Amino acid sequence: MKVGAASEREEGFALLLVMIAIMALTLIVAGLWKSSQSGWEENTLDRARFQAGMLAESGLAVALHPEIEPGDSALRHELAPGRSFEVLITSEESRIPVNNLTEEKWRDAAVQMMELWGMDAASASVAVDSLADWVDEDDDALPNGAENAYYAGLEYPEYPKNVAFTDIEQMLFVAGMDQVARVNPMWRDYFTVFGDGLVDLNAAPWEIIVAITGTTEDSARNFVAVRNGDDGIMGTIDDNEFDDAGEIQALLGLTDGEWTEISDLVTLVGGVSRIESTGRIGDFEETRVVLAREKADGDGYIILARFRE
């Protein structure tokens, strides 16, 4: 009886080991399957993004052809169902040139723009004066600005650099810009470090037009609506591009004196094009941006910068 009982115990123990082994193998196989599924899904995602990026690059190649104009039908193309690219060509000089904020006119305009976003005047002045102090050549802080003493107190004694911004992202280091980012997360769309230091009225958003010209919000919105054409979208074939400053002056309701006052801040033909190309694969999309200046002979572009969005 003892021998039989021992044998039964051994068989039961062996069966338990087999069951444990089967359970362990099951868990391993399930883990490997889940891991492989996750890897496959990640690879599928990566492939989709890569292909969308390649479509975006194709759109850029089309847009940079010398004979392509904004709104050209070739800038929107579907290669196959669910695979397409769309390109928008606008002016980089639709934005406020941040390195010009050392001039009072530009600072006043930038403060006005931020107030239109909903910032209070004091916070807007801190940000704008501090941006100006960052790029000016002296160590004297503007009334609401920040120079070395402020940054040294934050243990950043190397700031401000007292040189021009070369990248919009550098603005985030400046005093007061955290408040700007909270009020308007899209603030990057309103500043530039490129261009000829003027605002292109044929491309600027209504907030900048109000801030620069001093016109009313209604007049600025109406001007933008007329400029963008029947579809209401900038950069399409039905846009109305103004080449007569008098027409713009009339639409904005400015007197001759008011127009003269701001004429050295604006242009009707921006020198730097902003080309945004978005490639789409199903629900995935990738955007590539190129900033370019047309060559003097009109045969193509000089690339100034390119980046992803």
Residue 236 included in any domain? no
Residue 103 included in any domain? yes
Range of the domain at 157: 99-187
Residues 275 and 290 sit within 8 Å (Cβ to Cβ): yes
Residue 28 included in any domain? no
pLDDT value of residue 297: 85
Residue 61 included in any domain? no
pLDDT value of residue 235: 85
Residues 118 and 183 sit within 8 Å (Cβ to Cβ): yes
* Residue 169: CATH number of its domain: 1.10.40.60
> Can you list the residues of the chain whose pLDDT is less than 70?
1-42
Q: What are phi and psi of 33, to 5 degrees?
A: -65, -45
pLDDT value of residue 13: 47
Residue 4 included in any domain? no
Residue 68 included in any domain? no
Q: Please indicate, yes or no, whether the overall pTM of this predicted structure exceeds 0.85.
A: no
Say how many domains are in the chain.
1
Residue 73 included in any domain? no
Residue 122 included in any domain? yes
Report helix angle 217-228 to 206-213, nearest 10: 130
pLDDT value of residue 3: 43
* b/e per residue 148-177 (b: at least 16 CB within 10 A): bebbeeeeeeebbeeeebeebebbeebbbb
Alpha carbon distances (Å) from 144 to 127, 129, 135, 190: 8, 6, 15, 21
